[in-house]
Amino acid sequence: MSDTVDAEDLALLATGFEAAMAEETRPAETDQALFDLGWAELLSAAPSQGAATAFRALGTTNSAAGLLDDVVANALGIGISPQTCVVFPAPHQAEAPAHPQGDAMVVDGLVSARAEGATTAVLAVEANGDVSINSIDAGLLQGPVAGGVDPGRAYRRLSVEIPADALVPVPTSGSWESAVAAARTALAHQLLGGARWMLAEARQHAVDRAQFGRPVASFQAIRHKLAESLVQIEGAASVAEACLDDPDPLLAALAKSLAGQAAATTATHAQQVLAGIGFTAEHQFHYWLKRMLVVDTLFGSASSLPAEIGHHLLSRGTVPRLIQL
């Protein structure tokens, strides 16, 4: 494994990242701050550990920093910078987001907030079953200002046609499949970071809020909802951790699917426990909920991944033994 950063340094970086992400700055400034803290060096020294550390912090802080761009570019073997963005697959999918049509390139995907200020964009194109990686002028990706459910505007949909001759092939050292796996693992850690935040909010509320003369945490229906959330989080977290020692793309798909499911379950239960206050714009809960909805769709979701995984098993005809003692 190339992942070699000692635990102490990692913990120190994690604290630094969290502090930078918690600052109320624009995503581009956060990205720059993270690069200043050594994000690029971390990612090259320890791609999976480093990404997991940063993405856990993204989940906890709900920052809209564009680190997914870096994880994907790095996995492909492309140098990263705060001015380089990546075009991600369309929601719930993991296929390359562009395909040729005549002289044009049809792009149907997602971009992060980084695309706004970026100079270069990385675009994966699928043609005749092969994926090629290209670079384009990020100016070609400008579209309507992001709307959507997420007030933090971390990602927006991108649907454009660009001239095919605008693409410059980029040499890569990693496959698209490995980039998808890296993205899924990182996003699983983000979803679980967010789920842990939501669970902690709901737990504190349950303990503090009294009705019928006692804390609502004393009601079994409430307790079981929170317990169920923790169980799903821990199950998914164990798989997301296992991905750090095993780059198997199937394991990454499982981790992302489980994390999305755990986050969705936790969001539903936390919302119910928070009740009225959790439905307000004033309580912070909705920011995490909405980000979770968006992040779940990236590179395959909890609703699309089980079928993808199942088709994989059916075409293999056997079930691989992924987790070894």
Partner 1 sequence: MDPETFRRDLGAWLDDNANELAPPYEGAGSMDEQMAHYSHVKRSLYDAGFGRYGWPESVDGLGGSPLLRAMVGEEINLRGLCDPNPWTMIEVLVPTVIGFARPEVAAALVPPFLRGDEMWCQGFSEPDAGSDLASLSCRAAKTDGGWLVSGQKIWTSFIQYAQRCVLLTRTGEPNSAHRGITALLVDVDSPGITYSPIETMHGRLDFAEVHYDEVFVPTERLIGEENGGWQVAMDILPYERSTTFWHRGALLHRRLSDLVAQLVANGDRSDTAARALGHAFQSLVAFRSRSRDTQHRLADGQQLGVETSIDKILITSAEQQLFGAVRDLLGGVVEFDDDIDAAMWRTDYLYSKAAPIYGGTAEIQRNIVARRLLDLGPES
Query: 306: part of which helix (H) or strand (E)?
Result: helix 305-316
Tell me which of 208, 234, 277, 280 binds partner 1, using CB under 8 A. Answer: 234
Pairing of strands 104-112, 155-163: antiparallel
The residue (of 111 and 217) whose beta carbon lies closer to partner 1 is 217
With respect to partner 1, which residue has the nearer C-beta, 128 or 220?
Answer: 220
* Residue 66 neighbours by CB under 8 Å, 6+ apart: 27, 28, 31, 82, 85, 112, 113, 114
Of 19, 227, 275, 277, which lies in the binding site for partner 1, with binding defined by CB under 8 A?
A: 227
Matching residue, tokens 């089980």 = 306
Decide if residue 323 touches partner 1 (CB under 8 A): yes
Which of 92, 153, 157, 203 is the binder for partner 1 (CB under 8 A)?
A: 203
Pick out residues in 181-200 that bind partner 1 (CB under 8 A).
none
Residue whose pair of structure tokens reads 């579209």 in the numeric block: 143
> How many residues does this entry show for the chain?
325
By beta-carbon proximity to partner 1, the closer residue of 244 and 294 is 244
Return the residue of 12, 231, 275, 277 that touches partner 1, per CB under 8 A: 231
Q: Min. distance of Cβ 163 from partner 1 in angstroms? A: 37
54 vs 305 by CB, closer to partner 1: 305
Give yes or no for residue 238 binding partner 1 (CB under 8 A).
yes
Contacts of 100 (CB under 8 A, 6+ apart): 106, 125, 127, 164
* Contacting partner 1 within 252-281 (CB under 8 A): 254, 257-258, 261
Q: Which of residues 78-137 bind partner 1 (CB under 8 A)?
A: none
By beta-carbon proximity to partner 1, the closer residue of 177 and 234 is 234
Q: For residues 62 and 229, which CB has a smaller minimum distance to partner 1 in the complex? A: 229
Instruction: Name, in order, each residue with C-beta under 8 angstroms of 252's C-beta and a sequence gap of 6 or more.
Output: 180, 181, 182, 184, 185, 188, 243
Dist CA 279 CA 317 (whole Å):
46
In whole angstroms, what is the distance from residue 46 CA to residue 42 CA? 6
Please tell me the distance from the alpha carbon of residue 94 to that of residue 85, in angstroms, as a whole number. Answer: 17
Which one among 2, 4, 173, 318 touches partner 1, defined by CB under 8 A?
A: 318
Nearer to partner 1, 283 or 312 (CB): 312
The number of beta carbons lying within 10 Å of the beta carbon of residue 137 is: 13
Between the alpha carbon of residue 31 and those of residues 80, 127, 257, 313, the distances in Å are 11, 32, 27, 39
- Which positions lie near partner 1, rule CB under 8 A? 203, 206-207, 214-215, 217-220, 222-224, 226-228, 230-231, 234-236, 238-239, 241-242, 251, 254, 257-258, 261, 305-311, 313-319, 321-325
